[in-house]
Structure 1
Amino acid sequence: MQYFPVFLDAKDLHCLIVGAGEVGARKLELILKTPATITVVAPWMCDTVKSYASHPQVTLIEREFEQDDLNAKDMVFVATSDETTNADIHDLARARKVLVNVVDNTPLCQFITPSIIDRSPITIAMSSGGVAPVLLRYLRQKLESVIPANISRLGAFSEKFRNKVKQTLDGVTARRYFWEDVLDGDIAELVEKGQNDKAEAQFDIALEAARQNQKPQGQVYLVGAGPGDPDLLTFRALRLMQKADVVVYDRLVSPQILELVRRDAEKIYVGKTKSNHTLPQQDINTLIAEQAKQGNRVVRLKGGDPFIFGRGGEEIQTLIEQGIDFQVVPGITAASGAASYAGIPLTHRDHAQSVTFATGHLKDGTIDLNWNALAHASQTLVFYMGLTGLPIICKKLTEHGLSAETPIALVQQATLPEQRVVTGTLATIMDNPETPTMKPPTLVIVGSVVSLHRKLDWFTRTVE
C-alpha cells in the first residue's frame, strides 16, 4: 500500500481550501459532512461556494493565497488552476507539516480523498491510489446496491449499547460472539425496520442470556475454499472467514484467498505434500477439536470441497466423538474449477455421459483402483493428486481397454493466473517435454472431452 488508510477525527480539525471554483466547491461540500472548521481562500468564488458564506463552519476570504493562511491548519486542499501556484503551496504545506492534497495531481498529494459510502456512523472508504478512478466508481456502485440504506440505524443502535455490553460481558471473544448473533438475527431486522422498542427489549433478553453463560461454545466450520480464484468463494465461506478466531488451512488454499481471512484471526498452517506432512491427519483432527474446546470459532479452510478428497469426513468424525458442534460449507471442487477454466466440459452429449472422480494417491501410497470400471470411452475421468502416478495411470487404463489415443490433459494451478495446461494422449503425454515441468497442484483429466480444449479454451493457452 502506497497510501495508508486512516480515519481522522474531524471534531477539532482545521481545513484550508485554496481555490473556490467548482472543484473547490466539491471539496467544501465533502468536508462539511464532518464537524471540521473550514477556511476557503480565493480571489474569485463560484456561486456554490458563496452559498456557504453564512455557514457556521465556513470562513470565506476573497483574495490571493498568503503563506500565513497555513497557520494553525491541519490539512489543505489546493484547487487552483495555476500549476505553479499549486506546487508552491504544496511545498509550503509540507515544510510546515500540514497535510496537503493538490487536486487531480497525485504526485503532489500527501493524502488522497477516497470514494466514500456514507451511512453514518458507518462509513466505507475506498481508494485506488489515484490510478483507477472509473473502476473505483464501479465498485462503489456495486457496494451501494448491496448495503442496506438503513444500515446507519444499526450503527447507531450498536453505539448506544456498546458500553452496556462491555460492562456486562467479560472478554473480547464473548462480546464479539454476542454482537455477531445480534447483527445476524432478528434484532438487527427490527432495528433496520425502525422498530427500536421491540429491538431493545429483545436485546436485553439476549444480553442477560449471554451473561449467564459468558464463555461461548466453540464451533468448527469445514469450509471449501474452491480451486484457487477468490472470486469462486461462496458468500457463506467468505462471511465465516471474516468471523473466524482461528483458521486452520492447507497447502491448496491460495494466498489470495488467505488474504480474505479476518486480520486478527490466528492462522495455523497444516499443509501436506507427498511424503512431507506438516501435521499427520490425526493431529490435525485433534488440533481442530482442541481449538473449539477453548471457545474459538474455528474455520477449517480446505482447497476445493471438504468432502471430495478433502478428508472432511475424517475430521468431523473426531468432532462428533468429542461432542463439538460443526457445519460444512461446500466449495467448488478442483475438478469442476480446472475443467471449466481449461475449456474442458466434464460431460458432453457427443463425448461423455458420465464423470468419475478418482484419487491418484491412496492412503497406503498405492494406486490400486478398479481399472476395469474406469477404462470406458464414454466417461470422463478426473484424477486428484495424480501427477506422481501419471505413468501408472496411463499404463493401467490402456491395459484395461482404453485406447492409447484417448486424450489427456494436465491442469496446474487451476483458475489462477499461473494456470498451465498440457495435453496429449495416454500414449504420448509422458513424452511431452512440458510434462516433467508440471508441479502440484495438478489435476489429470482423461477422456474424449479433452479434445474440445483447443476450441473451447477461454482462459489460458495450451502448451503442447
Structure 2
Amino acid sequence: MKLYPLFADLNGLPVLVVGGGTVAERKIAALLAAGAQVRVGARTLCSALAEWVAQGRIDHLGTSFQPEWLDDVWLVIAATDDSDLNARVAAMAQRQRIFANVVDDAALSRFQVPAVVERTPLTIAISTAGAAPALARRIREKLESMLDHALGELVALAQRYRARIIERRPDLAARRAFYDGLLDGPVMSALRCRQPERAERLLLDTLASAETAPRKASVLLVGAGPGDPSLLTLRALRALNQADVILHDQLVSDAVLALARRDAERIDVGKRCGGRHTQQEQIHRLLLEHARAGRCVVRLKGGDPFVFGRGGEEMEFLQRHGIVCEIVPGMTSAVACAAYAGIPLTHRDYARSVHLLTGHGKESPDAMDWPVLAQDHQTLAVYMSVSRLDELARHLLAAGRRADTPFAIVENGTLPQQRVISGALSDLPTSAARHAVRSPALLIVGEVAALANRHAWFGEQTRPVHQVDECVLPELCADG
C-alpha cells in the first residue's frame, strides 16, 4: 500500500478519540500539541486523561460510542481494546468521509500516525504504511541523532525572511544556493552556538550581497570521549558527519573514526612517546590551511578538548587568525574510565573532592603542591602517568600519603580490552611493572580506588599484588 504523505493543520479543529487508556493518551498528547480541540469518548479514563478533562484541556463525551459524535469532527482515532467497536467507528467514519485511524490495524485505517522527528517548525514524519511501526521508531531514533536541534531555529529564521529571500533571489538556482549557504555556513553555526541575533545579521548581510557568501573558515574542536563509540555525544556525531577533513589524535579509537563521513580526509596528528610525534605548531598550520580553504575542519581529540587536550591553545591560535572556533565537549577520560572501573570519583564516605592531574606538563613534578595532593578524603585522577608512576608514588608518600592508600590503574578504559590493576600506593610501581601496564591508562589514587574490587562490572579485573582490604576504608577516611 502506497500512502500519500500529508501534513494536516488541525489548529482549532475538533478531533475525536475513542478510547481512554494509555494508547489514547499518547495520541491525544500529540493532537493537543498540534492545537486540535480533542473530544474523548470512553467508559473509563486513565489518570492523565481524567486530569486533562478536569483542567478543561479535553472534552469527555460519555461512556458508550454514539454515531453523532462524528457529526462535525475532522479526524477520528479509534484506540480501544474492543476490535468490534474499532471496526464500527472506522466504518461509520468512512461513510461520513472522515479520515479514521484504528490503532494497530492498518487495514481499517484511512490515515497512519507516523513516527515524528520534531525540530519545530521543521517536522519529519516516518511511515511504514502500518506494516512495521517498530521499524519506523528505530529509524526515527537514527534521525534524531543525525539532525541538529538548531535546524528548527534555522527554518524559523528562513521563514521570517522568505518573501525577502524570494525577492532578492528570484532565480531558483540562486535561491537554492542561498539556502545551501544557510545550512552549511556561519548562520547555522551561530544558531548552534545560541547566537540568534548574530545569525540574523549574517543572513541579512548575505542576502544584501550580490552573490551567495562563501563559507566562512571555521573549525570544530570535538571531544571523542574515552574510546567507546557509544559514549560519543550527538553533537560530536553530527560534526563527524559534516566534516571534510578530520585531524585526530592517537587516542581516538578506530570505532569512533568509523562513524565519520566516509569521504572525509583523515589526518593522524597523534603525539607518541618514543615514536612519531606531530608538533603542536604543525597541527596549528594544518588547521589554518584547511579552514582557509573553506573546508569543514574537525579537530578530534580523545576525551575532552579542554581537559589536557590543548584545546585552549588551539582555540587561541585560531581566533588570532580570524577563524571561527566551535567547541564540542566530550566525556573526559577521568569520569568515563573511573565509571567503567566501578570507581566513584567522589563519595560521601571516602572522598570530598577530586583533582585532575597530568603526568606530562610544562612544569616539573617537583613544582606541584604535593602536601595538598597527599591529603586524605580526596581522589587524584592522573592522565598520561604510565612513565612516571614511580615518581608520582614517591612524591605522594614523601608528602605524607599513607602507604596503604588504594590505587587503581584503568588501562584502555571503556574499550573491550580494558584492564584494572589495583593495590596499595606503596606497591604502585611494582604492580604496574609486573602487569606490564601500557598507555593509554588512567591512574586513580584515593580511598575510592578500593571500590574497584567491590563494584567491578566491565572488562578484565586483575587481582592486585597486595589486595586492599575493603574493611580498611572507614579507617582510611576517619578524621585525624
Which TM class, normalised by the smaller chain length?
Answer: 0.5 to 0.7
What does residue 394 of structure 2 align with?
A: 395
Partners of 1:210 and 1:258 lie apart in 2 by 38
Offset of 1:135 from its aligned partner? 9.7
**3-state SS of the aligned residue for 1:438?**
coil
Matched to 1:398, the amino acid is: L
Q: Is the 8 A contact 1:422 1:434 kept in 2?
A: no
What does residue 214 of structure 2 align with?
A: 215
Offset of 1:311 from its aligned partner? 0.5
Offset of 1:339 from its aligned partner? 0.5
Q: Is the 8 A contact 1:244 1:298 kept in 2?
A: yes
174-183 vs 443-452, which moves further = 174-183
Q: Does 1:180 align with 2:179?
A: no
**3-state SS of the aligned residue for 1:409?**
strand
**3-state SS of the aligned residue for 1:382?**
strand
Offset of 1:457 from its aligned partner? 1.8
**3-state SS of the aligned residue for 2:239?**
helix
Partners of 1:306 and 1:348 lie apart in 2 by 26
Give 1:219-368 correspondences, 5 Å limit.
219-363=218-362, 368=367
What does residue 43 of structure 2 align with?
A: none
Q: Deviation per CA, 1:208-257, whole angstroms, max 9, x where unpaired? A: 55762542111011111111112212222211221122211111111111
What does residue 437 of structure 1 align with?
A: 436
Give 1:138-217 correspondences, 5 Å limit.
139-140=138-139, 142-143=141-142, 164-165=172-173, 169=177, 177-180=181-184, 208=207, 212-217=211-216
Q: Does 1:385 align with 2:353?
A: no
Matched to 2:455, the amino acid is: L
**3-state SS of the aligned residue for 1:392?**
helix
Runs of 5+ unmatched residues, structure 2: 5-113, 118-123, 160-168, 192-202, 464-480
Q: Is the 8 A contact 2:390 2:429 kept in 1?
A: yes
Offset of 1:205 from its aligned partner? 7.6
Q: Is the 8 A contact 1:348 1:449 kept in 2?
A: yes
Offset of 1:428 from its aligned partner? 2.1
Partners of 1:251 and 1:463 lie apart in 2 by 26
Matched to 2:341, the amino acid is: A
Q: Does 1:449 align with 2:453?
A: no
| Equivalenced residues, count | 323
Partners of 1:253 and 1:211 lie apart in 2 by 43
Matched to 2:338, the amino acid is: A
Partners of 1:167 and 1:411 lie apart in 2 by 54
Does the C-alpha gap of structure 1 residues 288 and 354 become closer, same or farther in structure 2, counting only changes over 3 Å?
same
Q: Deviation per CA, 1:5-49, whole angstroms, max 9, x where unpaired? A: xxxxxxxxxxxxxxxxxxxxxxxx47x99xxxxxxxxxxxxxxxx
**3-state SS of the aligned residue for 2:331?**
coil
TM-score, length-normalised on structure 2? 0.58
Does the C-alpha gap of structure 1 residues 455 and 282 become closer, same or farther in structure 2, counting only changes over 3 Å?
same
Q: Is the 8 A contact 1:361 1:367 kept in 2?
A: no
Offset of 1:124 from its aligned partner? 8.7
Partners of 2:212 and 2:388 lie apart in 1 by 53
Does the C-alpha gap of structure 1 residues 210 and 297 become closer, same or farther in structure 2, counting only changes over 3 Å?
farther
Matched to 2:223, the amino acid is: G
Partners of 2:173 and 2:301 lie apart in 1 by 35
Matched to 2:451, the amino acid is: L
Does the C-alpha gap of structure 1 residues 272 and 245 become closer, same or farther in structure 2, counting only changes over 3 Å?
same
Partners of 2:173 and 2:366 lie apart in 1 by 57
Partners of 1:276 and 1:164 lie apart in 2 by 54
Matched to 1:390, the amino acid is: L
Partners of 1:400 and 1:185 lie apart in 2 by 49
Give 1:403-414 correspondences, 5 Å limit.
403-414=402-413
What does residue 428 of structure 1 align with?
A: 427
Does the C-alpha gap of structure 1 residues 320 and 380 become closer, same or farther in structure 2, counting only changes over 3 Å?
same
Partners of 1:307 and 1:426 lie apart in 2 by 29
Partners of 1:321 and 1:433 lie apart in 2 by 43
**3-state SS of the aligned residue for 1:257?**
helix
Offset of 1:421 from its aligned partner? 0.8
Runs of 5+ unmatched residues, structure 1: 1-28, 34-115, 127-132, 188-203
Partners of 1:412 and 1:283 lie apart in 2 by 29
Offset of 1:332 from its aligned partner? 0.8
Partners of 1:385 and 1:185 lie apart in 2 by 34
Aligned-residue identity in percent:
39
What does residue 77 of structure 1 align with?
A: none
Offset of 1:140 from its aligned partner? 3.8
Partners of 1:323 and 1:145 lie apart in 2 by 33
**3-state SS of the aligned residue for 2:327?**
strand
Offset of 1:146 from its aligned partner? 7.9
Offset of 1:432 from its aligned partner? 2.9
Partners of 1:165 and 1:278 lie apart in 2 by 47
Q: Is the 8 A contact 1:367 1:389 kept in 2?
A: no
Offset of 1:166 from its aligned partner? 7.0
Q: Is the 8 A contact 1:429 1:435 kept in 2?
A: no
Q: Deviation per CA, 1:394-413, whole angstroms, max 9, x where unpaired? A: 11111110011111111111
Matched to 1:456, the amino acid is: H
Give 1:55-204 correspondences, 5 Å limit.
139-140=138-139, 142-143=141-142, 164-165=172-173, 169=177, 177-180=181-184
Partners of 1:455 and 1:124 lie apart in 2 by 46
Partners of 1:349 and 1:313 lie apart in 2 by 33
Does the C-alpha gap of structure 1 residues 390 and 136 become closer, same or farther in structure 2, counting only changes over 3 Å?
farther
What does residue 66 of structure 2 align with?
A: none
